[in-house]
Amino acid sequence: MTKSKSVFSPLSSILIANRGEIASRIIRTCKKMGIRSIAVYSDADRDAPFVNEANTAIYVGESSPVKSYLDIDKIIAAAKKSGSDAIHPGYGFLSENATFARRCKKEGIIFIGPNPEAIDAMGSKSNAKALMEKHGVPTVPGYKGKDQLDATLTAEANKIGYPVLLKATAGGGGKGMRIVNNENEIKNAIAAAKRESKSAFGDDELIVEKYIQSGRHIEFQIFGDKHGNAIHLLERECSIQRRYQKVMEESPSPILSAELRAEMGKAAVDAAKALNYDNAGTVEFIFDEFSNEFYFLEVNTRLQVEHPVTEEVTGLDLVKMQIESAQGKPLLISQEQVIGNGYAIELRLYAEDPSNNFLPVTGNILKFETPQVDGLRVESAVESGSEISVYYDPMIAKLIVWDINRENAMRKMAYVLRNLVCTGTTTNQDFLLKLVEHPDVIAGKYDTHFISKELDKLIKGVIDLKGINIPAIASTLFRWSHRNQNQQVLKSIPSGWRNSFYSYQFEEYSVGEEKIKIEYKFARNKFDIKVGEETYVVSLQDISEDKISFQLDGVLYKFSISKNGNNYFTHNEIFGNSKLTLLDRLPEKEQEKIKGGYISPMPSQIVKVLVKTGDKVNAGDGLVILSSMKMESTITAEEDGVVKEVYVKDGQNVEADYLLIELNTDE
């Protein structure tokens, strides 16, 4: 490759065209380098931590990303207003938008990312695949033609042989992807993949590839500069996924030999050189364990969500390297100097409900507290009091641990998950704990289908996590103690006192669909407690505004507790997270459910209404497609019927529990 001439461009201020944890991450490096940081924010992010962490912040519009973080004119105007020398796009939003990169150059603003030509080349999966084939990088057999007729795509799928994978040529993150197992499924799969791709990326072109059923997803971090140099910074294994979204990332991969690592690393660098690559990027491969072959998937022309894993094992600051490369500085490290040290693992903590098909949830984080653990790194978008908004991805934090070997790192991650406190909303924390404690994960024996194959065990582990009796006792004692502290009259008489020694006070809670009754009485500084057939003697040890500790059967239990209305969120290292809803002694009559009615399970936008009034539908037929927190889901009919009324239209925003469609199911 011919070295290009480049003029060094000094800079003293960077605008971050992003939000949440990645904005905080970039701000941290800016401070370390003595560079002024400028944040941009929408209505939903006015009080977000990253806004306060930056040196200054500029409002760019409404909560919807299209009207704020994706509005190029507003971002450029904010950069000019703040006198920014450069813009860092983070990941997502405008990070892989070649038009935005060119606009920055036109405006005399440094774009901290690869050159627009590289972004363009990788913006289409079909073009990317052709370019890689030309440069000898192995690719998956498939079709990448411009003829996008359903009949053509179907014929190509039949020629390749099932199963096949339909993939949007634009974008990533699992959007516009469908696995097709036979010809009977392909018509609906093409329609769904095109619709989702058009909605997410404005382009519905698809490619068809042979689907590798037992694959490992392994990616290599690449880095280039404006002087023709390109290297890789080792690999990350990202095989543990759900709906094509990464759940766990680790480095080094537990299955790569030194020889295979060198071979894949060379292919990654070849890909970088084919693109004239000049910043941070990632070359993704699928590794077939049966054939021991690997194939090119795509190049992500940006910083990855999981970049901290690489930073932990190499000791490098990738954001700093990005800034230096964008300025025109040559790489300060050669391939021979890239040496991995120890093991790093990253997990993504999300506001989602594993027991309800991982649907994202909104709400306020009442308390967010991470344990003090050597080797723990937390990249977070929240703090205590933060709101999880419907407008953005529901990721709460990235948890990264480092240790000298994989065994130690896995054990440390389990400890972190047991002791991290995140209360106020439902999260996947307990699910992640069951994941890292699974014997196959500990042994490194998994592929991209691991979660789907083991889902029942992982979900059961979350739901049945040691029962609910002890958390319910913790909530009851917490309430008793605070009532006792607030008692204004007859202070010598404990809260809940009865003039009959044998009389128990009680509280009832609902936990999901179940109800639990706690009966208790206080005597001689101890509590006698009954829960169903179980009896306990409990001694209260300590109580504060949001913590309680007590002894039960010789064991000291420590709980963190947060309250929101009648909801009590508890956390304990053994029992994990629990949400208990205090039932009123005289509860209001529940609102009667509408027979045949279908409601929105979460705040959502209506992507497409699939039926109209008078349509006959069968059980399992799709009724309406919803989108929330960057995830698309379909509401389906539970039984046969006729559409009686449709209450929504395409593009409409609805709240949780909003009535969408009503069916007449009378025979």
Q: What is the pLDDT of residue 456?
A: 86
* pLDDT 10s digits, 276-321: 999 999 999 999 888 888 999 999 999 999 999 999 999 999 999 9
d(CA 453, CA 458): 10
285 phi and psi angles, rounded to 5 deg: -125, 155
Lateral strand order in the sheet of 604-609: 631-636, 622-628, 604-609, 653-654
| Alpha helices (runs of H) in 208-306, residue ranges in sequence order | 258-274
Report CA 32 to chain centroid distance, whole Å: 27
Which of these, 493, 496, 492, lies nearest to 520 by C-alpha position? 496
Among 25, 216, 236, 302, which one carries the catalytic annotation? 302
Q: Which runs of E-coded beta strand occur in 532-658? A: 534-543, 547-552, 555-564, 567-572, 576-582, 597-599, 604-609, 616-617, 622-628, 631-636, 641-646, 653-654
Amino acid at residue number 173? G
Asked if pLDDT for residue 491 goes beyond 60, the answer is no
Asked if pLDDT for residue 166 goes beyond 60, the answer is yes
User: Tokens standing for 126?
Assistant: 């079909």
* pLDDT 10s digits, 509-530: 998 878 999 999 988 889 999 9
What is the average per-residue pLDDT within 602-614?
Answer: 87
What is the average per-residue pLDDT within 115-134?
Answer: 88
Q: Which long-range contacts (CB under 8 A, 24 or more apart) does 546-551 make?
A: 546/367, 548/474, 548/477, 548/478, 548/481, 550/473, 550/474, 550/477
Which of these, 305, 81, 114, 17, lies nearest to 27 by C-alpha position? 17
Q: What is the pLDDT of residue 493?
A: 45
Answering whether pTM is above 0.85, one says no
Cis check: omega of the bond before 163, within 30 degrees of 0: yes
To the nearest 10°, the Cα dihedral for 567, 571, 577, 578?
-30
325 phi and psi angles, rounded to 5 deg: -65, -40
Report the mean per-residue pLDDT for the chain. Answer: 90
As beta bridge partners, residue 559 has 548
**Is the distance from CB of 432 to CB of 347 less than 8 angstroms?**
yes
| Catalytic status, residue 302 | yes
Residue bearing the bigger pLDDT, 459 or 366:
366
Residue partners of 443: CB distance under 8 A and separation at least 6: none
Q: What is the pLDDT of residue 496?
A: 52
Instruction: Say if strands 567-572 and 576-582 run parallel, antiparallel, or are unpaired.
Output: antiparallel
As beta bridge partners, residue 403 has 343
Instruction: Say if strands 36-42 and 56-61 run parallel, antiparallel, or are unpaired.
Output: parallel
Asked if pLDDT for residue 601 goes beyond 60, the answer is yes
Residue partners of 244: CB distance under 8 A and separation at least 6: 173, 174, 177
Asked if pLDDT for residue 1 goes beyond 80, the answer is no
* pLDDT 10s digits, 529-582: 999 899 999 999 999 999 999 999 899 999 999 999 999 999 999 998 899 999
What is the average per-residue pLDDT within 366-373?
Answer: 95
What is the average per-residue pLDDT within 409-421?
Answer: 97
Which of 98-112, 355-369, 422-436 is the least confident region? 355-369
